[in-house]
Amino acid sequence: MSTTRLLVGPFNRVEGDLEVRLDVADGRVHAAHVNATMYRGFEQMLQGKDPHDALVYVPRICGICSVSQSVAAAYALRDAAGLTPEGMPANGRHALNLMLATENLADHLTHFYLFFMPDFTRPVYADRPWFAEAHARFAPLQGHHARQATAARQRWFTILGTLGGKWPHTQSVLPGGSARAIDLAERLRLLGKVREFRAFLEQTLFAAPLEAIASLDSEAALMAWWQQAAPDHGDLRLFLTIASDLALGDLGRGDGPCLSYGAYVQPDGQPAMRGGVWDAAQGLSLPVELAQITEDATHAWLDGDRPLHPHDGQTLPDADKPAAYTWNKAPRLAGRVAETGAVARQLNDGHPLIRDAVARTGTNVFTRVLARLLELARVVPLMEDWLRAVRPGEPWHQPTPLPDTARATGLTEAARGALGHWLRIEHGRIANYQIVAPTSWNFSPRDADGTPGPLEQALVGVPVQPGETTPVAVQHVVRSFDPCMVCTVH
Amino acid sequence: MNALPSGSLARSPGEPLNVLWLQSGGCGGCSMSLLCADTPDLPGTWRDAGIRLLWHPSLSLETGVDVITLMEDVLADRLRLDVLCIEGALLRGPNGTGRFHMLAGTGLPMIDWVQRLSAKAHLVAAVGSCAAWGGITAGGDNPTEACGLQHEDEHPGGLLGESFRTPGRPGTRAEWPVINIAGCPTHPGWVLDTLMALAADALTPADLDALGRPRFYADQLVHHGCTRNEYYEFKASAEQPSDLGCMMEHMGCKGTQAHADCNTRLWNGEGSCTRGGYACISCTEPGFQAPGHAFHATPKIAGIPIGLPTDMPKAWYVALASLSKSATPKRVKHNATADHVVVPPAIRRTRLK
Ligand code: SF4
Ligand code: SF4
């Protein structure tokens, strides 16, 4: 068996810089090494700063999930101030949920229409029966649905124009709520905008009411729904058609635990989507033990050779470190690799369709994308509820004076999965700030034991066609995670 | 000074403006912001304006070898590059090697690619404050040795050097510095207007301010059109986030000093930082990432803000402020520290005169 090596990059339609090294033998990937090729050093920059400055800095880690970074920072500061989610004014909680949901759903939309589906318009698929339609809809800068989705996304983000002043890098996200009070007329206009987005989803993406999609409770129900109309009736059906033709359910498999911190805090302090660690073998969602989270820098160009809890974590670049191949550390949960993302959220929250599909084929290209689309159907109605529940005239935030000394944690969900900030304050200044982003988990390198990260594992066995320099199946697998490399290495 | 791109690759009238967009030490937010441009059909707008994207990391199909080939075509004069757009700071570290950002798949530092491509481009644009000045990426102790294309904060130089110039459209004898479309992120309208104006040959180096920013947005202040102007006039100040009052006195707002049209050309349909309930941190200005104080509070000496409006002598400010404070209407005073109108404007029982 002869092994050839492929270096794939620049890998685009992902956020940030990614290079993948593939060892290929017998037409399949034999081993993969994932390299996040850019380092910016936010954890270093934040040292010594006023803790509130994190709210200016951390959203600028990432222009695609900046609100998620803001929310994680705000929650960490809230934790430092000793304020519980229940202690926040209800309006503030709703405003933060709304801003986070607006961004997360926009990310799902952008991912599907602009990042993931364009790969099915590549010439290699020209002989497939669905190709002409896929090309007409999703070709970059041309496809009519890609263009409509871009317009829908622009309109959708006007919600953040109102609630957050601007996007990305809104600063209205505060530890105790939101800096932007909205009035009655604004509340009604925002509801109108949510309905406008709903109409795009129901007409173009789903060709069905959101509630009909959200209530699909098994793979059999999904397949029956798919067959009720022409195979390209709506973009979800076309995706199912392509997924079944190309067996995307067999591609990029993961079987490890799936991590979610839970999303969208409700009045009782509980998340609207419950978090947990999905254990595939037992078919159970177990509580997340935060003490079991570590980061290992063995194969990162960073100092350190043993796993550290994020509270004790350090980030010191060492570009000449032998055996290192990425700027990303390797996060581990009780020493194990974990996958995170919409599929993890839906598994832990117990959505029957995703649990059913994953039980059969594990996480894979198909279930990752399906879970994201399902979230579009599930979260828009939640946003309508939150908007109806806001009370103009009542407070939007609670002041949060900070102590001189604190150890605090801020956990939230970005579109791509579990995002955690660990903050230590000493003498009123930031003494340590560690960020573990969703893509840090998914695109983790090998750890001290040599165990590859989730993507590195998912790429093993992926087919490589003769002559391919940038294997298209590899691209499907990588993009199914919707990686955010700038968050990963921050 | 940059060698003139070869004549055979000059853009003739009517040909599209070839734009190559690369990202380095930034967050991608300027690209994501661009997708929020106020148009129902962004690719159609570009096409109609004569803008052709050779490649953009978020929007193009080409991956890997195809992209490298495209850039090599530019370097070998096989492909005309009218505008090189760089988003994100240039990472010179560690120790000047540029290894903090290697362009994936090439084994070469991004700063090398940017330098070589800049020498071929008819125009070079820094998209966002990272590419213009170093921006937030140069924050703290600047661990990555980040700088902008032609500035390091307000100091000329940067990656390409103070004397770097491009010819614009050959034959016009113009000499262009790097065009700094600064902002963090930059407003989609600023980018789109700049590119459309370049495609239409409607911009000249004289249309840039002293820091290389397009004057159509940089000759204005965030203060212009701010909904809090009445509070400003009376020095009726917000005391905490979400208060309606002016944020200059206590909340760190730099809107009276920041060059940008954020309150007349709104963000995402209807927003701006000040309308979002928080201070302008002057993200279009060099060095905004290091104000020397916590962002959310106004530094003061003897109770007077240090950062006074750009055009205002301090003595006048102090005199006017104490006068206007004593004249503040009750309505303005009370509303300044509330998050909604608690005292509405009076309704006159007679006709307005
Ligand atoms: S200027 Fe701001 S928004 Fe643009 S890339 Fe830099 S950090 Fe991101
Ligand atoms: S208001 Fe100030 S901080 Fe906000 S975008 Fe405009 S210039 Fe930047």
Please give the full DSSP string across A166-208, using - where no structure is assigned.
SSSS---EETTEES----HHHHHHHHHHHHHHHHHIIIIISSS
Contact B60 A158 (CB under 8 A): no
Binding residues of A: 43, 62, 65, 435, 484, 487, 490
Cα A70 from Cα A60, distance rounded (Å): 9
List CB contacts (< 8 A) between B266 and chain A. 161
Q: pLDDT tens, A369-379?
A: 999 999 999 99
Contact A317 B143 (CB under 8 A): yes
Q: pLDDT tens, B143-176?
A: 999 999 999 999 999 999 999 999 998 777 889 9
Cα B262 from Cα B50, distance rounded (Å): 27
Asked if residues B135 and B116 have their Cβ atoms less than 8 Å apart, the reply is no
Ligand lying nearest the CA atom of residue B253: 2
Specify burial of residue A425 (Cβ count, 10 A radius: 0-12, 13-18, 19+): buried
Ligand 2 centroid – CA B263 distance (Å) = 9
Cα A251 from Cα A228, distance rounded (Å): 26
- Residue A277 β-bridge partners: A259, A286
Cα-to-chain-centroid distance, residue B352:
43
Q: pLDDT tens, A30-85?
A: 999 999 999 999 999 999 999 999 999 999 999 999 999 999 999 999 999 999 98
Task: Answer yes or no: is the C-beta of B128 below 6 A from any ligand 1 atom.
Answer: yes
Closest alpha carbon to A95 in A169, A168, A170: A170
Structure tokens at B164: 């770097």
Q: Search chain B and give the residue with CA nearest A486.
A: B27
Provide the pLDDT confidence category of residue A23 given band limits of 50, 70 and 90. Answer: very high
A61 part of contact set with chain B, CB < 8 Å: yes
Give percent of chain A above pLDDT 90: 96
Average pLDDT over residues B26-33: 98
| Residue A81 pLDDT | 98
Taking the C-alpha atoms of B345, B348, B349 and B352 in order, what is their torsion angle to the nearest 10 degrees? -150
pLDDT at B305 > cutoff 80: yes
For chain B, what is the mean pLDDT?
94
Contact B29 A110 (CB under 8 A): no
Relative to the CA of B222, which ligand 2 atom is closest?
A: 1
Count Cα atoms within 13 angstroms, Cβ side, for A330: 33
Specify burial of residue B327 (Cβ count, 10 A radius: 0-12, 13-18, 19+): exposed
Q: pLDDT tens, A184-206?
A: 999 999 999 999 999 999 999 99
A180 part of contact set with chain B, CB < 8 Å: yes
Closest alpha carbon to A341 in A486, A452, A440, A475: A440
Average pLDDT over residues B54-60: 97
A160 part of contact set with chain B, CB < 8 Å: yes
Structure tokens at A350: 């117990």
pLDDT at A361 > cutoff 60: yes
Would the pTM of this model clear 0.95, i.e. be above it? Answer: yes
Q: Is the dihedral of CA B341, B345, B349, B350 positive or negative?
A: negative
Q: pLDDT tens, A148-165?
A: 999 999 999 999 999 999
Distances (CA, A) of A113 to A14, A196, A363, B51, B336: 13, 18, 21, 22, 44
pLDDT at A166 > cutoff 90: yes
Structure tokens at A333: 């949960």
Ligand 2 centroid – CA B187 distance (Å) = 9
Q: pLDDT tens, B246-281?
A: 999 999 999 999 999 999 999 999 999 999 999 999
Cα A273 from Cα A270, distance rounded (Å): 8
For chain A, what is the mean pLDDT?
97
Average pLDDT over residues A429-447: 98
Structure tokens at B75: 């370097």
Provide the pLDDT confidence category of residue B2 given band limits of 50, 70 and 90. Answer: very low
- Residue B20 β-bridge partners: B55, B84
Distances (CA, A) of A376 to A346, A381, A389: 12, 9, 20
Q: Is the dihedral of CA A325, A328, A333, A334 positive or negative?
A: positive
| Residue B8 pLDDT | 58
List CB contacts (< 8 A) between A157 and chain B. 36, 268-269
Distances (CA, A) of A139 to A122, A373, B142: 9, 19, 40
Task: Answer yes or no: is the C-beta of A60 below 6 A from any ligand 1 atom.
Answer: yes
pLDDT at B353 > cutoff 80: no
List CB contacts (< 8 A) between B25 and chain A. 38, 40
Interface contacts A/B by beta carbons within 8 Å: 262
Provide the pLDDT confidence category of residue B120 given band limits of 50, 70 and 90. Answer: very high
- Facing A38 at nearest CB: one of B25, B32, B262: B25
Contact A56 B295 (CB under 8 A): yes
Contact B278 A165 (CB under 8 A): yes
Provide the pLDDT confidence category of residue B3 given band limits of 50, 70 and 90. Answer: very low
| Residue B312 pLDDT | 81
Helix axes A131-138, A144-156, angle to 10 degrees: 40
Residues 323-382 of A with CB under 8 A from B: none
Count Cα atoms within 13 angstroms, Cβ side, for A326: 32
Residue A234, C-beta contacts closer than 8 angstroms, at least 6 positions apart = A204, A205, A206, A207, A208
Q: In the CATH hierarchy, which top-level class contains the domain A4-488?
A: mainly alpha
Contact B140 A47 (CB under 8 A): yes
- Facing A56 at nearest CB: one of B27, B262, B281: B281
Q: What are phi and psi of B137, to 5 degrees?
A: -65, -25
| Residue A156 pLDDT | 98
Residue with tokens 């041309």: A142
Contact A19 B104 (CB under 8 A): yes
- Whose C-alpha lies nearest to ligand 1, atom 3? B185
pLDDT at A462 > cutoff 90: yes
Q: Where are the alpha helices (DSSP H) in chain B?
A: 29-34, 42-49, 65-75, 110-118, 129-133, 188-199, 215-218, 229-233, 314-326, 330-336
* Cα radius of gyration (chain A): 22
A442 part of contact set with chain B, CB < 8 Å: no
Asked if residues A487 and A65 have their Cβ atoms less than 8 Å apart, the reply is yes
Task: Name the residue of B253, B267, B283, B285 to mutate for ligand 2: max ligand atoms within 8 A of Cβ.
Answer: B283
- Facing A470 at nearest CB: one of B35, B65, B137: B65
Residue with tokens 């090697």: B97
The domain limits of chain A are 4-488
Ligand lying nearest the CA atom of residue B278: 2
Cα A260 from Cα B84, distance rounded (Å): 40
ipTM over 0.85: yes
Structure tokens at A414: 């970005």
Residue to test with chain A: of B68, B190, B266, B268, most A Cβ within 10 A = B268
Cα A105 from Cα A414, distance rounded (Å): 10
Asked if residues B334 and B343 have their Cβ atoms less than 8 Å apart, the reply is yes
Ligand lying nearest the CA atom of residue B252: 2
Q: Measure B316 CA to nearest chain A CA, in Å.
A: 32
Q: Is A278 helix (H, G, I), strand (E, B) or coil?
A: strand
Binding residues of A for Ni(2+): 65, 484
Asked if residues A9 and B104 have their Cβ atoms less than 8 Å apart, the reply is yes
Cα-to-chain-centroid distance, residue B66:
31
pLDDT at A414 > cutoff 90: yes
